[in-house]
């Protein structure tokens, strides 16, 4: 009996999406008979202090100087991964990564963040690793710092992103259009009426779901709640504040006296149920949130998207007609009114989502890497 393939999944805890994709892939690999292990590159292969400090800096910039992150993201997209201007950043964690590879001897490494991808490629350039290396994109963007000639296979969200990867010189046979991996629960249909009943919501009044990612205080979530508070029409709102009890309490205080309309939650594992109950999602354009909403055919309005990858996700989604975008509170109010006053708006968004969604991404990636081409063709069709 052949030994189960050992799969090392390298991620980083910057934003919620990378780690979530790593978890989804680990489940899919385990279901296929492999032995996956997830390693946080910055925390485990660089240093916990570096991880804490760099994440604090990252979120501090996003909260207080978001345009600065937008500039840094744009500059990074202009610099080749071979440039000396990166000041050796691609070598971060390579020493411990090499030790990990030697100790665990994985059959396959999957990276879901650019920095561990860079570190592994650096080892491969030095001839110190020959392991098969696949990279899975977690946003609808082909950013230059994700592109390395040493990567054996890329899994990208859409044909448009694949074309951008080709433009960086990556051969077509090394790029698979898979979608962004989402949990298998987003593939299963849920009844809207049952979901609303379970949440104590009326079946007759429109439901809006407001989300802001794992760190809900970063972005426009509070502004979206304030817009809804000023709306003089029937609606119900599910508000997911994310991690951080202080922010959830602030939103509950903001909604005091309107508890019949607003239900405020902190971090929750019930996103699938919330999406099933909702008619419309108001959110910033995180890559995994976008993929999950598309998987369940939930129309979206993007509001408060951050510069950088979220701005690019927003551009991608609105270009395909799967979401509306609001740049101000006034535009958000108008977009909500238009969505509920004109049934064709939501219908058009759903039809466009149905045309481009790829909810089977995780299984397609696993089947491609473990060598099951028949099911790969079936999943891609």
Question: Measuring CA to CA, how many Å separate 114 from each of 12, 138, 207, 267, 273?
Answer: 9, 10, 37, 26, 31
Report residue 52 as tokens: 């804490």
Helix (H, G, I), strand (E, B) or coil at 241: coil
Is 210 within 8 Å of 231 (Cβ atoms)?
no
Tens of pLDDT, residue by residue, the chain (381 residues): 467 899 999 999 776 789 999 999 999 999 998 999 999 998 999 988 888 888 888 888 888 888 898 898 889 999 988 888 776 788 888 999 999 999 999 999 999 999 999 999 999 999 988 999 999 999 999 999 999 999 999 999 999 999 999 999 999 999 999 999 999 999 888 999 999 999 999 999 999 999 987 766 677 899 999 999 999 889 999 999 887 778 889 999 998 888 889 999 988 888 999 999 999 999 999 999 999 999 999 999 999 999 999 999 999 999 999 999 999 999 999 999 999 999 999 999 999 999 999 999 999 999 999 985 333 333 333
pLDDT for residue 49: 87
Report d(CA 83, CA 363) in Å as an integer.
35
Report residue 375 as tokens: 């099911």
- pTM, entire model: 0.91
pLDDT for residue 200: 92
Is 18 within 8 Å of 112 (Cβ atoms)?
yes
How many CA atoms lie within 13 Å of 144's alpha carbon, on the beta-carbon side? 13
pLDDT for residue 2: 62
Q: What are the strands, taking DSSP E only, across the chain?
A: 6-11, 35-40, 108-111, 132-136, 153-156, 175-177, 207-211, 236-240, 262-265, 280-283, 300-303, 323-326
Report residue 310 as tokens: 């979220």
Alpha-carbon torsion angle 66, 67, 73, 78, nearest 10: -170
Residue in 140, 141, 89, 139 with CA at minimum distance from that of residue 117? 89
């Amino acid at each position: 009996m052949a030994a189960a393939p050992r799969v090392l999944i390298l991620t980083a805890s910057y934003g919620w999406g990378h780690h979530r994709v790593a978890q989804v892939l680990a489940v899919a690999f385990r279901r296929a008979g492999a032995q996956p292990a997830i390693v946080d590159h910055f925390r485990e292969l660089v240093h916990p202090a570096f991880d804490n400090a760099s994440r604090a800096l990252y979120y501090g910039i996003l909260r207080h100087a978001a345009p600065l992150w937008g500039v840094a993201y744009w500059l990074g997209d202009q610099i080749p991964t071979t440039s000396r201007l990166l000041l050796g950043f691609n070598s971060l964690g390579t020493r411990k990564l090499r030790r990990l590879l030697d100790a665990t001897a994985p059959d396959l490494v999957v990276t879901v963040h650019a920095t561990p991808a860079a570190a592994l490629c650096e080892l491969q350039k030095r001839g110190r690793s020959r392991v098969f290396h696949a990279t899975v994109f977690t946003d609808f963007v082909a950013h230059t710092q994700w592109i390395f000639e040493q990567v054996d296979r890329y899994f990208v969200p859409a044909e448009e992103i694949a074309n951008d990867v080709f433009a960086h010189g990556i051969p077509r046979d090394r790029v698979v259009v898979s979608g962004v991996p989402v949990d298998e629960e987003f593939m299963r249909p849920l009844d809207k009426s049952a979901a609303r009943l379970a949440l104590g919501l009326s079946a007759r009044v429109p439901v809006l779901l407001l989300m802001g990612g794992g760190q809900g205080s970063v972005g426009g979530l509070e502004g979206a709640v304030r817009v809804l508070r000023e709306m003089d029409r029937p609606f119900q709102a599910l508000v997911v504040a994310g991690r951080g009890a202080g922010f959830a309490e602030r939103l509950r205080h903001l909604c005091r006296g309107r508890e019949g309309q607003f239900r405020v939650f902190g971090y929750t594992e019930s996103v699938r149920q919330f999406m099933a109950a909702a008619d419309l999602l108001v959110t910033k354009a995180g890559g995994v949130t976008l993929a999950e909403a598309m998987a369940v055919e939930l129309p979206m309005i993007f509001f408060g998207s951050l510069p950088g990858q979220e701005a690019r996700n927003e551009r991608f989604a609105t270009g395909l007609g799967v979401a509306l975008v609001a740049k101000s509170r006034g535009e958000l109010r108008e977009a909500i009114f238009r969505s509920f006053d004109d049934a064709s708006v939501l219908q058009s968004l759903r039809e466009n989502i149905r045309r481009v969604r790829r909810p089977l991404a995780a299984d397609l990636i696993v089947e491609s890497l473990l060598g099951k081409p028949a099911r790969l063709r079936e999943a891609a069709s």
